[in-house]
Structure 1
Amino acid sequence: MSHGKQFTLYTCQPGGPNGWKVAIVLEELGLTYESIYLDLKNGESRSPEHTKYNPNGRIPTLIDHKNNEFVIWESNAIILYLISKYDPEHKISVTTEGDKFQLTQWLFFQASGQGPYYGQASWFVYSHPEKIESAKERYMNETLRILGVLESVLSKQEWLVGGKATVADLSFITWNQAALIIVLPNKEGFDFHKDFPAVFAWHAKLEARDSVKKIAAVRAAFQR
Structure 2
Amino acid sequence: MSASIQPITIYGHKGRAPNPPKVHILLDLLNIPWTLVELEMKHDPTDEKSIKHPSYLAVNPNGRIPAIVDPNQNNIAVWESAAILQYITEVYDTTHKFSGKTLEERTLINEWIAFQISGQGPIQGQIFWFSFDRFHKEKYGEAAPPHVVQRFRDEIHRVCGVVEGQLARQKAKGSDWIACDRMTIADIAWYPWSRANAFAGIDMEEFPNLKAWVDRMGEVPAVKHVYETVAGES
SS in 1 for 2:73: coil
Residue 161 (str. 1) matches residue 188 (str. 2) = no
SS in 2 for 1:57: coil
Please state how far the C-alpha of 1:220 moved relative to its aligned partner. 5.8
Q: Deviations over 1:3-35 (max 9, x none)?
A: 994210001231221111111111111110011
Between the aligned residues of both structures, percent identity stands at 32
CA distance in 1, matches of 2:167, 2:231: 29
CA distance in 1, matches of 2:39, 2:231: 17
Please state how far the C-alpha of 1:162 moved relative to its aligned partner. 2.0
CA distance in 2, matches of 1:103, 1:83: 12
Please state how far the C-alpha of 1:178 moved relative to its aligned partner. 2.6
CA contact under 8 A between 2:6 and 2:72: conserved in structure 1?
no
Give the structure 2 partner of residue 8 of structure 1.
9
What are the within-5 Å matches in structure 2 for residues 150-189 of structure 1?
A: 150-157=163-170, 158-180=176-198, 182-184=199-201
Please state how far the C-alpha of 1:65 moved relative to its aligned partner. 0.7
CA contact under 8 A between 1:94 and 1:100: conserved in structure 2?
yes
Q: Deviations over 1:72-106 (max 9, x none)?
A: 11110010000111001112112110110111111
Give the structure 1 partner of residue 217 of structure 2.
206
CA distance in 2, matches of 1:155, 1:125: 31
Give the structure 2 partner of residue 45 of structure 1.
51
Q: Deviations over 1:189-209 (max 9, x none)?
A: x3x13x000101111111110
Unaligned runs of 5+ in 2: 45-49, 171-175
SS in 2 for 1:17: coil
With normalisation by structure 2, the TM-score equals 0.86
SS in 1 for 2:62: coil
CA distance in 2, matches of 1:42, 1:68: 29
CA contact under 8 A between 1:9 and 1:33: conserved in structure 2?
yes
Give the structure 1 partner of residue 160 of structure 2.
147
CA distance in 1, matches of 2:86, 2:208: 29
Give the partner amino acid of 1:137. Answer: Q
What are the within-5 Å matches in structure 2 for residues 1-224 of structure 1?
A: 5-41=6-42, 43=44, 44-126=50-132, 127-129=135-137, 130-131=142-143, 132-157=145-170, 158-180=176-198, 182-184=199-201, 190=203, 192-193=204-205, 195-219=206-230, 221=232
Q: Deviations over 1:15-64 (max 9, x none)?
A: 22111111111111111001112110354011012011111111111000
Q: What is the aligned length?
A: 214
Give the root-mean-square deviation of aligned CA atoms. Answer: 1.9
SS in 1 for 2:16: coil
Change (3 A) 1:220 1:47: closer
CA distance in 2, matches of 1:171, 1:202: 13
Which runs of at least 4 in structure 1 moved beyond 4 Å after TM superposition?
A: none
CA contact under 8 A between 1:5 and 1:34: conserved in structure 2?
no
CA distance in 2, matches of 1:203, 1:220: 16
CA distance in 1, matches of 2:231, 2:90: 30
CA distance in 2, matches of 1:15, 1:48: 24
